[in-house]
Structure 1
Amino acid sequence: MRTGLGIDSHRFAEGRRLVLGGVEIPHGRGLDGHSDADVLAHAITDAILGAAAMGDIGQHFPDTDSAFKDADSIVLLREAVARVTAEGWRVEFVDATVMMERPKLAPHRAAIMATLSEAVGADVHVKATTGERMGFVGREEGVAALAVATLDRG
């Protein structure tokens, strides 16, 4: 059994959709990135790849590759799970936290957890916290996410 940690952050940007955990959340700004900038899916992808000692999201899906421009991060997450599964690993559980001031995540949490759980084939628990008005999260400049994934040999 192994555990991996994933962390990601993206700044807010005008004219983009806000996607967290594969769910579009109504908000005036989205997150800036090469893909859909889903920080939650990215953190979980890194946690899963890390637990399998298979690098990180940038190695598997580089932002220098036009094939991943505006990519759906849930598709990338599913592919990462397929790759660790091919190496004999099975995702057992994921725990994640999203850090942002607004919008509130609570109304979307059940849909996010369902989408992520389906993508990884295991329970995914999602929590949310604010930056207490401190740092880039507190100033509403961006969003951060942290995730821990537990894998076992299939």
Structure 2
Amino acid sequence: MRVGLGFDVHRFIKGRPLVLGGVEIPSDVGLDGHSDADVLLHAVMDALLGAAALGDIGDHFPDTDEQFRGVSSVVLLRRVIQLIGERGYRVGNVDVMILAEFPKISPYKHRMIELLAHELSVRIEDVSIKATTMEKMGFIGRREGIAVEAIVLLVDRVN
């Protein structure tokens, strides 16, 4: 078994879709980034890569590479899952914490869980997504962006 921890943060920006956990959320702001800036999937990818000692998403999908501009983070996640498999691992479970004042996560959480379970080839019961506010403190509390922490368990493919 191997455990990985991931963290990511993106600021809000006008004129972009808000994508979180592979789900587009209606909003007048999105997240700033080179890809679709899906902060949730970025944190999960970093956790996966860390658990397998494969670096981080910047190593594999640098923001200096134009092929990744605007790309769906689901596409990037699929490549990370492929790398994990090549190392002989599969996902056991994933636990995610979203830190955000906005948007309200609960209406979209089940779709995010379903998407992650499907992409990670695990049961819905193996994916946890939680959210908390920052009680109006700091950049998150001022609604300037979103942060996400993720932890994953990798197990040998033979289990």
Compute the TM-score of the two structures, normalised by the length of structure 2. Answer: 0.95
In structure 1, the partner of 2:105 is 105
Name the residue aligned to 2:135: 132
CA distance in 2, matches of 1:77, 1:125: 17
Q: How far did 1:117 drift?
A: 1.1
Residue equivalent to 2:61? 61
2:28 partner SS: coil
Partner of 1:5: 5
* Deviations, residues 35-65 of structure 1 (Å, cap 9, x unaligned): 0000000000000000011100010111110
* Shift of residue 6, structure 1, vs aligned partner: 0.2
Q: Which sections of structure 2, spanning at least 5 residues, go unmatched?
A: none
Query: Counterpart of 1:27 in structure 2: which amino acid?
Result: S
Residue 119 of structure 1: how far off its partner (Å): 1.1
Superposition pairs for residues 74-153 of structure 1, below 5 Å? 74-122=74-122, 123-153=126-156
- Identify the residue that residue 46 of structure 1 maps to in structure 2: 46
Identity in percent: 54
How many Å separate the matches in 2 of 1:113 and 1:21? 8
2:6 corresponds to which letter in structure 1? G
Misfit runs of 4+, over 2 Å: none
CA RMSD of superposed structures (Å): 0.7
